[in-house]
Structure 1
């Protein structure tokens, strides 16, 4: 599909390198027009980097980026200053204060300049918050108690209030509960300007008008939503695989023809030599026959060799057309738990905000932890992991456990991926660490890449590797929104890997397809306490 004719975002000959010299783009050309564009690609392809370049947060190494109109950017891994008031986070505090001063009778013209035409700022702010499900947020309160999902929605509300011409969203459903996701889907579906969405959320990508697939430093366009994209790619893959099979057969046929040609020529040469001896031909005739035979042999072998080379080139081109999306492979040794063994016990454990939890997990149970944003799921997991002290009650974890946090802040940004893993398994040798890291797609120089330069998905893989390659291996895994930063291929592979894991799982996630793929044995909802709910 050709890109839209009316261009709002234009990248020309775009190049970008990180300070350590690792390249991301080299001569990228991209034009995006009105409508909703889903930007997809494998982890590390440069999706988040591209959005930051479009937003002006990064400077291209070469080339240009041009956007028409005001631009808003919702980044991945968003954090808010916890001392901010809600109206500050929304960017309307100064306007509100000026409005209140006018209402109190202060005639200073500065207040009127600050308000401008925005006399309904409070009504708009309140309506935007309500639209995104943040009905409990008061404009004067601070943001210190917001969950990760609420922080994302508040930042989105601030962008919507600005009414930008171009809106860039990077994994906007990360940390959002099911109700919040539905409200975001509605917001995206009703958007009338230019929107670029980086997401692994298949449901969200159903609301886009076109898919831009970033692969090997270039963008391929597909018309329609994600379902249409999958249908097109599946058809292309089927055609590409059929061409590979045809090309492979052609290569084998050309190899046989070349061997047959050589065999025939050797027989012909043998026959000519025998005839010369039998007939006692003069040497001049025998030499002439030999030269003719050699010339014919060379010419035919050249033809067959050329045909074989051409067949191999066609095979190489056909193989390149087949997608080979590398996926993580997780190997968790010595994690099996006997069916009756207790792996986790919570006895009247009291958390902040009045949450009390009782829970006993035995054997290799697979528990999904669900609940609205702000219900305390992350706090519960951190308390179980010993990162937060319980206000009351007792916690028992008699088996090795590991906690994969939502914010992926376990890595030392000044160390390489390999050195980070070694910090978790100091007794492991370098060769063993590199061999295991290869399963997480960190091969060769990738294992030496600094953690600070990793993409969101790469950081997830590195953090997961550090935790799972630690000694001893975990028999209880606590996962907090593990699919947030993974591409679609890696989500599928992670699901398969964890489905084969023999230990106990406690997973907080709003990604229902992912949870269903894990073979969940118990669904728990956190809402003032833990209660068992029907499978979702």
Structure 2
């Protein structure tokens, strides 16, 4: 990485629309220089799209994106060929092979060209893997031998090795366990170039130098970390609220003055007519007075009408400054499970891929269970087995109440179908009006409910999937969620937390998000590790230095 003093990203009059005509940006202007920038905004506001535009993966319909320096991007959804070797993912396979050939006595020029000046590439690669907690993997294993979370870290390691001048990270801690998250946090804190990160991970956003808030198609920059941004925004919104109240009072005052002016005009008109009828003055004088009075009254009325229009315009501007960020409103169905009632039984369960749980486990209502463990421990495999999607190797898992499972990948949606059609698949007996009413509570209103699922952002996809499950019959008395806060903006996480607080059924949630688990009312912690499934304490799960929920 070269000097960072001139590296920056500038978007000028940037406009972009999807092929179906959906507008994302219209004349966006923003300039981001060296340092760590957290890009925040509601789901669907265009954060990932903006990163793709900066990376050159999308072409603006108008305006320009100018980047000074080499750009690297870690996408939100990392999909890697399982046959790839680690050194291929890191982008060093060719240089490594050339080094081996040179060390073996082959002096061919192409080998020296492939190596360039990077003679210590293998040592740097191993050091980077070790920095991210992947030292045990080595360079010759394949992606099929590592967990999904380790795959994300490998893609990050590739970016760190490439040392781009501008690094773009899109939800880099999604699907990562607590230990892996901390590795990413350390890498971000140590970055010295231009870094733009999209994340709902609050701990990560506390490490940035500034917040770039994307709202209503515009970006505003705030100095400091996420806590500083929240304080600054609260002050702004308080002032905006005061301005609305002042503007509303001014509109009412202008309405009263206009009404008073109209009453005075009517009185003058009646008086003039009375004088005309009585003919107390010469006709030419009365005509002149009438014309003067009408002209004066007209000017008076126009003046007050213009003042009222100006007052209303100021009110509109004040209202626009107050954020009205829609939040999903989740009403979970009445699913009360009485205390002590059996919900789920596990007996000598051995999962696919050889994960053994050893012994018997019972879940009774209305327990709220956090399923925790390192990446690759088998949490998703266990949940899929409980949901009936995977058959166990041996043993049994018996659900004694209706259950619903929201998978991590949200692959229960058919990308070719609209949001409405997807929900209808889960509730064939529901009317179209009922489905649309439910979707409106999840912010899919009007035409938004008719868009194809394949065009949705990560957060929008979550909302659509959750709406489908909660409208399905029968209502779930056991709800299982796999990393539910991935891709959700802060407002949606708060809404999900509020909904779960009102849920009266049993809950099993796999999550690496300490803040979310702290707010979910967890009553039991189950740790899945090499020893199987066992009860644990929050302190054991989160370790020293992390506040336990």
Q: Give the shorter-chain TM-score range.
A: over 0.9
Q: In structure 2, what is the equivalent of residue 190 of structure 1?
A: 190
Cα pair distance change 1:287/1:370, threshold 3 Å: same
Q: In structure 2, what is the equivalent of residue 365 of structure 1?
A: 367
Q: In structure 2, what is the equivalent of residue 344 of structure 1?
A: 344
Which of 526, 531, 536 lines up with 2:534 in the alignment? 531
Secondary structure of the residue aligned to 1:372 is coil
Cα pair distance change 1:86/1:6, threshold 3 Å: closer
Partner Cα distance (2:377, 2:392) in 1: 16
Cα pair distance change 1:105/1:450, threshold 3 Å: same
2:333, 2:470 within 8 Å by CA — same for their partners in 1? no
Deviation at 1:330, TM superposition (A): 1.0
Deviation at 1:382, TM superposition (A): 1.2
Secondary structure of the residue aligned to 1:134 is coil
Q: Identify the range of structure 1 (444-453 vs 463-472) with the bigger mean alpha-carbon deviation.
A: 463-472
In the alignment, is residue 396 of structure 1 matched against residue 368 of structure 2? no
Q: In structure 1, what is the equivalent of residue 519 of structure 2?
A: 517
Q: Identify the range of structure 1 (353-362 vs 312-321) with the bigger mean alpha-carbon deviation.
A: 353-362
Deviation at 1:311, TM superposition (A): 1.4
1:18, 1:453 within 8 Å by CA — same for their partners in 2? no
Number of aligned residues: 532
1:7, 1:32 within 8 Å by CA — same for their partners in 2? no
Secondary structure of the residue aligned to 2:362 is strand
Cα pair distance change 1:111/1:492, threshold 3 Å: same
Q: In structure 1, what is the equivalent of residue 508 of structure 2?
A: 506
Partner Cα distance (2:165, 2:87) in 1: 22
Partner Cα distance (2:507, 2:495) in 1: 17
Secondary structure of the residue aligned to 1:64 is strand
Secondary structure of the residue aligned to 2:180 is helix
Deviation at 1:339, TM superposition (A): 2.1
Partner Cα distance (2:198, 2:368) in 1: 30
Structure 2 portions without partners, runs of 5+: 539-547
Secondary structure of the residue aligned to 1:300 is helix
Secondary structure of the residue aligned to 2:409 is coil
1:180-217 CA distances to partner (integer Å, 9 max, x unpaired)? 11111111111111111011112111111121112222
1:342, 1:398 within 8 Å by CA — same for their partners in 2? yes
Partner Cα distance (1:165, 1:291) in 2: 75
Deviation at 1:72, TM superposition (A): 1.2
In the alignment, is residue 8 of structure 1 matched against residue 2 of structure 2? no
1:92-126 CA distances to partner (integer Å, 9 max, x unpaired)? 22222332333344444433333333332222111
Deviation at 1:348, TM superposition (A): 2.0
1:366, 1:505 within 8 Å by CA — same for their partners in 2? yes
Partner Cα distance (2:131, 2:5) in 1: 33
Cα pair distance change 1:513/1:16, threshold 3 Å: same
Cα pair distance change 1:290/1:344, threshold 3 Å: farther
Cα pair distance change 1:310/1:415, threshold 3 Å: same
Q: In structure 2, what is the equivalent of residue 281 of structure 1?
A: 280
Deviation at 1:276, TM superposition (A): 7.7
Q: In structure 2, what is the equivalent of residue 81 of structure 1?
A: 81
Q: Identify the range of structure 1 (233-242 vs 60-69) with the bigger mean alpha-carbon deviation.
A: 60-69
TM score, norm. by length of structure 1: 0.93
Q: In structure 2, what is the equivalent of residue 150 of structure 1?
A: 150
Q: In structure 1, what is the equivalent of residue 53 of structure 2?
A: 53
Partner Cα distance (2:343, 2:269) in 1: 80
Secondary structure of the residue aligned to 1:24 is strand
Q: In structure 2, what is the equivalent of residue 205 of structure 1?
A: 205
Q: In structure 2, what is the equivalent of residue 464 of structure 1?
A: 466
1:48, 1:170 within 8 Å by CA — same for their partners in 2? yes
Partner Cα distance (1:468, 1:283) in 2: 83
Deviation at 1:267, TM superposition (A): 4.8
Deviation at 1:68, TM superposition (A): 2.5
Q: In structure 1, what is the equivalent of residue 542 of structure 2?
A: none
Deviation at 1:482, TM superposition (A): 1.0
Partner Cα distance (1:235, 1:250) in 2: 23
Q: In structure 2, what is the equivalent of residue 115 of structure 1?
A: 115
Partner Cα distance (1:359, 1:106) in 2: 61
Cα pair distance change 1:286/1:63, threshold 3 Å: closer
1:424-465 CA distances to partner (integer Å, 9 max, x unpaired)? 112211111111111111111111111121111111111212
Partner Cα distance (2:422, 2:361) in 1: 33
Structure 1 portions without partners, runs of 5+: none
Q: In structure 2, what is the equivalent of residue 436 of structure 1?
A: 438
Alignment of 1:87-486 (within 5 A): 87-267=87-267, 281=280, 284=283, 294-351=294-351, 352-356=353-357, 358-486=360-488
1:43, 1:486 within 8 Å by CA — same for their partners in 2? yes
Q: Identify the range of structure 1 (285-294 vs 437-446) with the bigger mean alpha-carbon deviation.
A: 285-294
1:39-84 CA distances to partner (integer Å, 9 max, x unpaired)? 1111111111111122222222233333233221100011211111
Partner Cα distance (2:367, 2:268) in 1: 74
Cα pair distance change 1:126/1:263, threshold 3 Å: same
Cα pair distance change 1:442/1:5, threshold 3 Å: farther
Partner Cα distance (1:360, 1:289) in 2: 96
Partner Cα distance (1:288, 1:228) in 2: 67
2:408, 2:484 within 8 Å by CA — same for their partners in 1? yes
Secondary structure of the residue aligned to 1:486 is coil
Deviation at 1:518, TM superposition (A): 1.6
Partner Cα distance (1:45, 1:481) in 2: 22
Q: In structure 2, what is the equivalent of residue 489 of structure 1?
A: 491
Partner Cα distance (1:416, 1:460) in 2: 14
Deviation at 1:505, TM superposition (A): 1.4
Deviation at 1:175, TM superposition (A): 0.9
Q: Identify the range of structure 1 (33-42 vs 312-321) with the bigger mean alpha-carbon deviation.
A: 33-42
Cα pair distance change 1:504/1:283, threshold 3 Å: farther
Partner Cα distance (2:368, 2:482) in 1: 14
